[in-house]
Amino acid sequence: MRRREFLIVPVASLGGTLLYTLAGEPFRLQSQTLGKDGTVKVPLRFFTAQEARVVAAACERIFPNDDAGPGATEAGVVIFIDRQLAGPYGRDKYRYTKGPWVQSVPEHGYQAKESPQEIYRRGIQDLGDFASLPVDEQDKKLKAIERTRFFQLLRTHTIEGMFCDPMHGGNVGLIGWQLVGHPGPRMSYRDEIDKHFGQSWRPKPASLEQITGRPGKPWEDEG
């Protein structure tokens, strides 16, 4: 059994006061989940606290908080990635993993044995003291690994964590959907599809749980 690791997140940095599934089930931030200093302890499933800090810092450079709006930190992207890696996806439960493992032409896609868990663990290690570097140093480091499988996963997962349904741990407070004007999985646009032509129509975002009235069953929670 691994030691329980937590990510300490300042609440002010997260999207809103309504946090989704951060402790395994949806809850409203209560005073007891808050630290005295306005922080919340999020239990980690895969990363160590140190690893989570490195990944959070890297995701923030990929999708930064800037004058165009919030970024990976506010959306809780690192929490999303932690859960993905701990789940069946991270363990390659749904990938064909029988040998022999051979390198092939690029048209055959990723053919190596390393799972997402293994790729992250090694990739994070190679980033060393990343979290404590100034941002221009961080960008240089990421630029240098741009073509690696690790960076490609990190970039893809950052976008996923920004805009996924909040039951997966990212898009906290629907901050990503607000940023791009996505309404979430609404049940009907029957009366809207042929209206608003040429004009931006942005209904208020709602999560799957808000729409169906039931908690979702994210795949990463499967054993």
For residue 24, the surrounding DSSP H or E stretch is none
Is residue 82 involved in binding another protein (CB under 8 A)?
no
Closest CA to 58 of 39, 78, 87: 78
Binding to another protein by CB under 8 A, coded x per residue (else -) over 29-68, reads: --------------------------------xxxx-x-x
SS (H, E, C) 187-201: CCCCCCCCCCCCCCC
Nearer to another protein, 16 or 88 (CB): 88
Burial of 98 (0-12, 13-18, 19+ CB in 10 A): exposed
Q: Which of 96, 134, 147, 223 binds another protein (CB under 8 A)?
A: 96
For another protein, the closer of residues 39 and 163 by Cβ is 163
16 binds another protein (CB under 8 A): no
Binding mask 136-175 for another protein (x = CB under 8 A): ---x--x------------x--xxx-xxxx-xx-------
Q: Under the criterion CB under 8 A, does residue 20 sit at the interface with another protein?
A: no
Q: Long-range CB contacts (< 8 A, 24+ apart) of 109-118?
A: 110/149, 112/149, 114/149, 115/90, 115/91, 116/84, 116/85, 116/89, 116/90, 116/92, 116/153, 117/46, 117/85, 117/90, 117/91
Instruction: List contacts with another protein (CB under 8 A).
Output: 61-64, 66, 68-69, 71, 89, 92-98, 100, 102, 104-111, 139, 142, 155, 158-160, 162-165, 167-168, 176-177, 179-183, 185-190, 192-194, 196-201, 208, 211-212, 214, 216-219
